[in-house]
């Protein structure tokens, strides 16, 4: 877990420009995309940093306070707070009000195929602040690939204002949100946490293996939750990145079982391009279905068991078996090579 005695980290934060942490409805973002914050320096592909394809757990689905309790942050820690990953596909439907702003398009309604991930995890005991019993994180991006290809479908893209090649590629997310988030209290030099959406859980009628959830963003948030809600670059016949400044009526509803998940996300509001001063109005609706990603989850859901919370977790024994089989296979191959060389 990150120690508050590591003052150099905070001094580094203090030495950089930190945006105003006050936010209404989570308006705006936790920070600029690296591709959109150029200072005039060369941003050609040759000067861009290249990164290896990250593991799913490193895609930014875990808020900081949950990451601190996970075995991903410290491999020697137990996996009780690792949560469960669900991979899936869906569609982003959005409608642009052409009577507002300066968005020049031929059609009002659009549909975009999405691939994405959901992480469902327990709420860590510290820091205090969140009231939601669990955390649901949702990340989705435009892709023409199938769900079977999702492991290689999360590809960085250029989000420049002048089209492809004008900036360094960055995360392709059209949607990135968490129902709880971590923020830095620079006055107290502490990490704190809050809910970004008020969430309720309930039993799904007679279906003993399903839990329903409903989450709504409050009218005001004291701190920026770092949500990302943006439209494809081609939205207004340009290659600019368009994002919702202060989404209204942002709601997320759905249900999940131990192995499946369905959700809808909807909202509306003013949309701005990076250099546009004349925002336009738009509304969106996302439908998404997913299945449990056992190969990337150390924990699996255990729902509605007597004497347990409505949502609980168990170790994912299937992952351990798969890892053991891979380790045995590698050992067997290595032994075979040794025999051939002797």
Phi, psi dihedral angles at 57 (to 5 degrees): -65, -15
Burial profile 178-207: b = 16 or more Cβ within 10 angstroms, e = fewer: bbbbbbbeeeebebbbbbbbebebeebeee
> Could you say which DSSP state residue 99 is in?
T
Per-residue pLDDT, 73: 83
> Could you say which DSSP state residue 164 is in?
T
CA angle (298 as vertex; 293, 304 as ends), nearest 5 = 80
Nearest CA among 293, 286, 294 for reference residue 141 = 286
Per-residue pLDDT, 160: 62
Phi-psi region of 125 (alpha: psi -120 to 50; beta: other; left: phi over 0): alpha
Per-residue pLDDT, 166: 55
Place of tokens 């920070």: 31
Cα–Cα distance, 259 to 211 (Å, whole number)? 12
Cα–Cα distance, 218 to 229 (Å, whole number)? 16
> What global pTM score does this model have?
0.80
In order along its 342 residues, the chain shows pLDDT tens digits of 444 444 444 444 443 333 333 333 333 333 334 333 333 344 455 567 655 566 777 788 999 999 999 998 888 888 999 999 999 999 999 998 877 777 777 677 889 999 999 999 999 999 999 999 999 999 999 999 999 999 889 888 887 654 445 567 888 999 999 999 999 999 988 999 999 999 999 998 777 789 999 999 998 888 889 899 999 887 887 677 788 877 888 999 999 999 999 999 999 998 887 665 678 889 999 999 999 999 999 999 999 888 889 999 999 988 754 444 444 444 544 444 445 555
Cα–Cα distance, 233 to 224 (Å, whole number)? 24
Q: Determine how many CB atoms are found less than 10 A away from the CB of residue 245.
A: 15
The H or E element containing residue 66 is helix 64-67
Cα–Cα distance, 94 to 234 (Å, whole number)? 13
Cα–Cα distance, 75 to 67 (Å, whole number)? 12
- The three-state secondary structure class of 93 is strand
């Amino acid at each position: 877990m990150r120690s508050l005695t590591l003052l150099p980290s905070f001094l580094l934060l203090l030495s950089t420009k930190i945006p105003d942490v006050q936010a209404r409805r989570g308006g705006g973002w936790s920070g600029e995309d690296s591709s959109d914050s150029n200072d005039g320096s060369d941003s050609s592909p040759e000067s861009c940093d290249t990164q290896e394809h990250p593991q799913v757990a490193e895609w930014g689905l875990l808020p900081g306070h949950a990451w601190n309790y996970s075995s991903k942050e410290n491999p020697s820690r137990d996996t009780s707070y690792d949560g469960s990953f669900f991979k899936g596909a869906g569609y982003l439907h959005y409608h642009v009000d052409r009577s507002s702003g300066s968005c020049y398009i031929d059609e009002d309604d659009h549909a975009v195929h999405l691939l994405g991930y959901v992480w469902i995890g327990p709420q860590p005991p510290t820091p205090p602040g969140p009231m939601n019993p669990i955390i649901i994180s949702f990340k989705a991006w435009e892709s023409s690939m199938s769900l079977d290809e999702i492991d290689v479908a999360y590809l960085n893209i250029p989000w420049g204002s002048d089209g492809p090649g004008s900036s360094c590629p960055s995360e392709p997310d059209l949607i990135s949100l968490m129902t709880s988030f971590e923020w830095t209290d620079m006055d107290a030099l502490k990490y704190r946490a809050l809910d970004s959406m008020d969430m309720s859980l309930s039993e799904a009628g007679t279906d003993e293996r399903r839990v329903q959830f409903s989450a709504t963003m409050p009218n005001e948030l004291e701190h920026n939750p770092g949500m990302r809600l943006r439209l494809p670059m081609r939205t207004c016949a340009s290659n600019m990145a368009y994002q919702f400044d202060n989404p209204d009526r942002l709601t997320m509803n759905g249900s999940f079982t131990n192995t499946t998940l369905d959700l809808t996300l909807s909202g509306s509001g003013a949309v701005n391009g990076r250099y546009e001063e004349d925002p336009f109005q738009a509304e969106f609706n996302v439908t998404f279905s997913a299945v449990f990603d056992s190969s990337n989850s150390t924990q699996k859901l255990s729902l509605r068991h007597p004497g347990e919370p409505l949502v609980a977790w168990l170790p994912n024994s299937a992952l351990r078996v798969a890892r053991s089989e891979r380790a045995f296979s590698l050992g067997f191959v290595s032994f075979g090579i040794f025999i051939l060389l002797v």
